[in-house]
Amino acid sequence: MTVSNNTPIKISDKQIATEFLNKYDTFLFDCDGVLWSGTHLLPSVVETIEMLKSLKKTLIFVTNNSTKSRKQYTKKFESFGIKDITEKQIFGSSYATAVYIKNYTDLKPGEDKIWVFGEQGIEDELHDMGFETLGGSDERLMAEWNSDTTPFLPLDPKVKCVVAGLDTKINYHKLCISFQYLTQKEPKTQYIATNIDTTFPSKGMLLPGCGSMIDLLTVSSGREEPPNCGKPSQKMLDTVFKAYPELQRSKCCMVGDRLNTDIRFGLEGNLGGTLLVLTGVETEDRLLQNSDHGLGLPKYYANKLGDLYEFTH
């Protein structure tokens, strides 16, 4: 195989792993497919995080998973034995969406309401920004769809925006009301997506992801594709650097499992490095044939994040 100058370097031994670790002082970690796969913690992740902490590295977590708020994610880290991760270190696409709405729309907290297609994480982050939400995890949406009995019709005139994210309890009732808010309001509601990931890695399987659910709403409603607030949006990376102004992009490395979100996020953000791990949605074959996909290539790749610990201990 000819090695071109941008062929990803595989972290496959102690020397490469050590050189890699010494290159960066900050690591931005994707979560699903890197730290865990659904409810399954990936091998040597706790040891790797503890090792990086002992090396005085700055650790930041940037996930497109909008089902949890930053606060809820601190509990998920604890549940996996990944200790002392603070809300400030976590940037989820639900938080990025709330920041986007605050900074880039004319929606008024306390006045304009937001319809949520998605889970508690989106609702919590929007509530923290002062917005009232409808839909989301409202249990009444779990009832079978019936246009005569749904409590969500007539539409609420104060709803001015639809935010769509991953909903692992998706059903026809939720789709129907979201569809109404996307098509039956004049002036049109604003339509915003938390992220574009088409699949969701869980316990070594691929499942339908947020992006696929949003495409269903977009295609059926005939609406334009909504802005995406998660990776690879640079607005999300700007939010990170605003919270950590001391960071140097050249000393930061983005670690992810998806080329078109995580690695693109790092490349377009001019970070010093990118590391793709093969425990999520990408495969080594697809990566090495990647030139067919026109997707950016990571600087490094590894079978799993835990190899950073295993090769150096």
d(CA 255, CA 259): 11
CB of 248 to ligand DEZ, least distance (A): 24
Closest CA to 276 of 302, 309, 237: 302
User: 125 touches which of Mg ion, ligand DEZ, none (CB within 5 to 8 A by kind)?
Assistant: none
The residue assigned the tokens 């090495």 is 288
Which neighbouring-strand residues pair with 201? 206
Contacts with Mg ion, residue ranges (CB under 5 A): 30, 32-33, 257, 280
Residue 266, C-beta contacts closer than 8 angstroms, at least 6 positions apart:
28, 252, 253, 254, 256, 273, 274, 298
The answer to whether 231 is annotated as binding is yes
Q: By Cβ distance, which residue is nearest to ligand DEZ?
A: 209
> With contact defined as beta carbons under 8 Å apart, do 142 and 173 qualify?
yes
Q: Does the annotation flag 124 for ligand binding? A: no
Nearest approach in angstroms of CB 97 to ligand DEZ is 12
Is residue 30 among the annotated active site residues? yes
> Angle at CA 311, nearest 5°, toward 310 and 313?
65
Candidate list 30, 167, 197, 307, residue with the active-site label: 30
Which of Mg ion, ligand DEZ, none sits in contact with 124, Cβ below 5 to 8 A by type? none
Q: Is 285 part of the annotated catalytic residue set?
A: no
Of the candidates 32, 112, 167, 262, the residue annotated as catalytic is 32
The distance of closest approach from Cβ of residue 100 to ligand DEZ in the complex, given in angstroms and rounded to an integer, is 16
Out of Mg ion, ligand DEZ, none, what residue 166 binds, judged by CB under 5 to 8 A for its kind, is ligand DEZ
Q: Is 30 annotated as a binding residue?
A: yes
Question: Is residue 307 part of an annotated ligand binding site?
Answer: no
Nearer Cβ to Mg ion, position 18 or 303?
303
- Report the partner that residue 123 touches, choosing among ligand DEZ, Mg ion, none (CB closer than 5 to 8 A by kind): none
CA 129 to CA 102: how far, in whole Å?
7
Q: What is the CA radius of gyration of the chain?
A: 20
Torsion region of 204: left, alpha or beta (phi above 0 gives left; psi -120 to 50 gives alpha):
left
Chain positions contacting ligand DEZ, by CB under 6 A: 30-33, 63-65, 166, 195, 197, 200, 209-210
Of 135 and 280, which CB lies nearer to ligand DEZ in the complex structure? Answer: 280
Q: Least separation, in Å, of the C-beta of 158 and ligand DEZ?
A: 28
Instruction: Give the residue with the Cβ less far from ligand DEZ, 118 or 135.
Output: 118
| Encoded amino acid at 226, one letter | P
Minimum distance, C-beta of residue 30 to ligand DEZ, in the bound complex (Å)? 5
**CA neighbours within 13 Å on the CB side: how many for 39?**
0
Quick one: which of 18, 50, 229, 12 has its CA closest to 125? Answer: 229
* Residue 275 to residue 9: CA distance in whole angstroms: 9
**Positions at the binding site for substrate:** 231
**Positions at the binding site:** 30, 32, 231, 257
Instruction: Show which residues are catalytic.
Output: 30, 32
